[in-house]
Structure 1
Amino acid sequence: MKLLFYSLLFSVVLISCQEKVSPDSISKINGYWEIQKVELPDDQEKEYNINETVDYIEWNGKTGFRKKVKPQFNGKYLTNEELETFQIIDSSGIFQIHYKTNFAKWSEEILILTDSVLVLKNKQNLKYHYKRFKPISIQ
């Protein structure tokens, strides 16, 4: 019984210490992000060990865009003209990214956003876990 109590207490402390997304932290979304895993609604996970592409996100305080880029060994990126434009909406402390392309509209909630971690959740309850991408340069 004591072990259960301490486990629950530890979980509560851990969750409460987690950094909340705030208007000041939203600018941390800018940059290159590499997908690590997708958490499915049934608690299964799909791991991404090797990624040929990463997401480049740029947000200017009002609008932004996300696009797939392919890192090269010389530190540069291959890209195309396809991108997803978005707005970030604060709804009572819940931050949502509203995307729009020529073909679709959708949204994702920002669950975690730090200097090195980004977690997004969509309407299908899929959680996308990203880490800050660090390029490899061989010259």
Structure 2
Amino acid sequence: MKNVFKMALIALLIVGCKNKIEPADVAKLNGYWEIEKVDLPDGEDKNFKINESYDFFAMKNNEGIRKKVMPQLDGTFIVNDSYENVLVRFEDEKAYLDYSTDFAKWTEELITLTDDELVVKNEEKKEYHYKRTGPINLTGNGEKIK
């Protein structure tokens, strides 16, 4: 009987600790995100030590854009005119990012969204883990600019 109670308590903790994403959390997407790793469906991880580009989100009222930007050492970014329209959709206690361009449409499930962490899962069951980042801002001697 004790084991049943222990297992029920563990199950409650696991379900209770799940990070539910609320509509008010969508604003946390705004800004620059750097990919850290991809969890593949076969259990392997692909880690990213250095990234040449970041994902930049600009969201308002559950819609906006995602754009790839390339950080430069002087704190600026190289950008182009390409971007993806993004719509945040809430359905069945889950949150989704619906992307669209002139050429394609796709969806990712929003797994985790905090001030510093973003995790999304695509239709191929790959989980993309991002950390919040920003401009590099290095001076000529390698010191960070405030």
Q: Normalising to structure 1: TM-score of the pair?
A: 0.87
Unaligned runs of 5+ in 1: none
Deviation readout 1:4-25 (Å, 9 max, x if unpaired): x79x94x864663343211111
CA distance in 2, matches of 1:40, 1:12: 27
CA deviation after TM superposition for structure 1 residue 76, in Å: 1.0
Q: Which residue of 2 aligns with 1:85?
A: 85
Could you tell me the percent identity over the aligned residues?
40
Matches within 5 A, 1:35-50: 35-50=35-50
Whether contact under 8 Å (1:22, 1:93) holds in the other structure is no
- Deviation of 1:93 (Å): 2.1
Please say if residues 58 and 66 of structure 1, whose CA atoms lie closer than 8 Å, have aligned partners that are also in contact: yes
Q: Alignment partner of 2:16: what SS?
A: helix
Give CA-to-partner distance per residue, 1:84-122, whole Å, 9 cap, x none. Answer: 111111113211111101111000010000000000001
Written as runs of structure 1 = structure 2, the 5 A alignment for 1:1-139 is: 9=10, 13=13, 16-139=16-139
What is the Cα-based RMSD across aligned positions, in Å? 2.0
Distance 2:66 2:51 in 1: 17
- In structure 2, stretches of 5+ residues that fail to align are 140-146
TM-score w.r.t. the length of structure 2 is 0.83
Give the Cα–Cα distance (whole angstroms) in 1 for the partners of residues 44 and 15 of structure 2. Answer: 21
Radius of gyration: which is bigger?
A: 2
CA distance in 1: counterparts of 2:43 and 2:24, whole angstroms: 31
1:35–1:51: 8 Å Cα contact kept in structure 2? yes
